[in-house]
Amino acid sequence: MKNLKLGISALALTVATTVFAQTTSNPWLIGVGAHGVNHAAAGGNAGDVFATAFGGGDGGELYNINNFTIVPPLSKLTVARNINRLLVVDWQTSVGNVDNKKIGMGKEFFLMTGLGLQFKFNGLWDEESWFDPYLRVGANYLRHDYTGVNFPLTDTNGQVVNGFSDNDPSSMRRADHFALATGIGSNFWITKNFGLGVQGDYVSTPVDNSALANFWQASASLLFRFGNTDRDKDGILDKDDLCPDTPGLAEFQGCPDTDGDGVPDKDDQCPDVAGPVENNGCPWPDTDGDGVVDKDDACPEVAGPAENNGCPWPDTDGDGILDKDDACPTVPGLAQYNGCPKPQEAWADDATKALDNILFNFDKATIRPESKEKLDNAAQIIKDSQGRFMIIGHTDKKGSDSYNLKLSQRRAAAVVDALEARGVSNTSLKSIGVGEQDATVPETASNAERLKDRKVVVKPADEATWESMKKRDY
């Protein structure tokens, strides 16, 4: 009983010291439970191991498993640590009062403790699986006292135990043994950190000259997993954290995204500048600085608007008005005319304004010298236009219609002569008089008031008008 109390105290001390070990950076496992030992099955023939282990009569009926010595809970402790996905190192300790029914030995203090190596099958596919089977081999110190065994030895059936010599009982009378355990087991994880474990081992004592101390051991344990750390305190366990020393985000498996562009820093070639995933986290370049990135810019080295794919708008006629806004893209023009040349109507209006208030001698078609500058300006306008125009003479209502008509014709012709004298082509102008037909001021009005009806107007001549005027005598 004293030895059993010492063994239980050793178990409790091991549990206490192991709990403090949970601060290491690797996952740990603690298992506490019960075990059972069966010497009778280990000494049987290969074919009747299970019958001997679990009990069976001559008629094949099953009965209780009294070949096992069952040691109550807290008789086995397992402490384990993962090396990698496939391998686990453990320390297993079993304690209790165990008999050896095979040779009729009464209960003796039993302590087995040692290191083992597990091969985990689920590391081949999913180490987080709830079903966690493994193979195990372990090297142990075994304390089980056989020094009081009497010789010759017979088993419970009165048969001499194989492997013993009456002449060499000392080969077997030992209390301390080296034991080799080989077995199979499985953990069943109910939660991420809690589960149940079962294990079966065949324990042999290869240094001894007999199989007396060999036995089968079965155990069941409650399992607790600890030690999953989070070094960078980002809420992602180190085993799941691709950047365990740098705080990061769950969506990037624990890695940071400094510039917030959705590319974790470990994959981001520009971690401090936001950029798209397809460019490895770097912004697309814009060589010409036009706001259209090079990958979308048809003219990456020349600035241009996005509407034209980053290329400048063309100006085919070179008039300073872009083709997209130019109503006459192949002919130089002016902005006020949507990129088209100045229309003949506009030239005619300008010439009319230049001839505004042109002065004639009273009741004559002679142009007064004061109108020289007006004629100079009008001539230049008509030459610049390169068009054809009608010079139309008008009079006020004073006088007879026939007289006013002839006067207007003579005055229009005088203007044409003056313009041609200033370099206007004689094929560009025709004169016509309309007399008082367009006058609006009454005949009774003052001379100053009737002045607005005495004028010369310039009108463009289209092809049809020009041809008809050529057939008439003005």
Q: Could you write out the DSSP letters of every residue in 89-127?
A: EEEEEEEEEEEETTTTEEEEEEEEEEEEEEEEGGGGT-T
* Helices H / strands E in the chain, number of each: 8, 11
Q: pLDDT by residue for the chain (474 residues), tens digit each?
A: 555 454 444 444 444 333 333 233 447 899 999 999 988 776 544 344 555 555 544 433 333 355 788 888 899 999 999 888 899 999 999 999 998 777 767 788 999 999 999 999 988 988 888 999 999 999 999 999 877 766 556 555 555 554 444 445 555 567 889 999 999 999 999 988 899 999 999 999 888 766 778 899 999 999 998 877 778 888 888 878 888 888 888 888 888 898 888 889 888 899 999 889 889 989 999 999 999 999 999 999 999 999 999 999 999 999 989 999 999 999 999 999 999 999 999 999 999 999 988 888 778 888 989 999 999 999 999 999 988 999 999 988 888 999 999 999 999 999 999 999 999 998 889 999 999 998 989 988 888 888 888 889 999 987 777 766 654 444
427: closest CA among 399, 461, 381, 395?
461
CA distance 379 to 114: 122
Report the pLDDT value the prediction gives residue 62, as an integer from 0 to 100: 31
Report the pLDDT value the prediction gives residue 270, as an integer from 0 to 100: 92
Report the pLDDT value the prediction gives residue 31, as an integer from 0 to 100: 96
pTM for this predicted structure = 0.47
Report the pLDDT value the prediction gives residue 198, as an integer from 0 to 100: 97
CA distance 121 to 74: 28
**8 A C-beta contact, residue 258 and residue 249:** no
Report the pLDDT value the prediction gives residue 13, as an integer from 0 to 100: 41
CA distance 164 to 311: 102
Report the pLDDT value the prediction gives residue 3, as an integer from 0 to 100: 52
- CATH code for residues 344-470: 3.30.1330.60
Amino acid (one-letter) located at 79? V
Report the pLDDT value the prediction gives residue 251, as an integer from 0 to 100: 85
CA distance 112 to 403: 148
Give the domain ranges of the chain.
2-226, 230-283, 344-470
Report the pLDDT value the prediction gives residue 443, as an integer from 0 to 100: 86
Helix/strand/coil percentages in the chain, nearest 5: 30, 30, 45
Exposed / middle / buried, residue 132 (Cβ in 10 Å: 0-12, 13-18, 19+): buried
CA distance 474 to 464: 17
Report the pLDDT value the prediction gives residue 25, as an integer from 0 to 100: 40
145: closest CA among 200, 103, 105?
105
Question: Is residue 316 classed as helix, strand or coil in its secondary structure?
Answer: coil
Please count the other Cβ atoms lying within 10 Å of the Cβ belonging to residue 185: 20
Query: Does domain 2-226 fall into CATH 3.20.20.70?
Result: no
Tokens 């302590």 identify what position? Answer: 111
Residues 6+ apart with CB under 8 A from 12: none
CA distance 187 to 82: 14
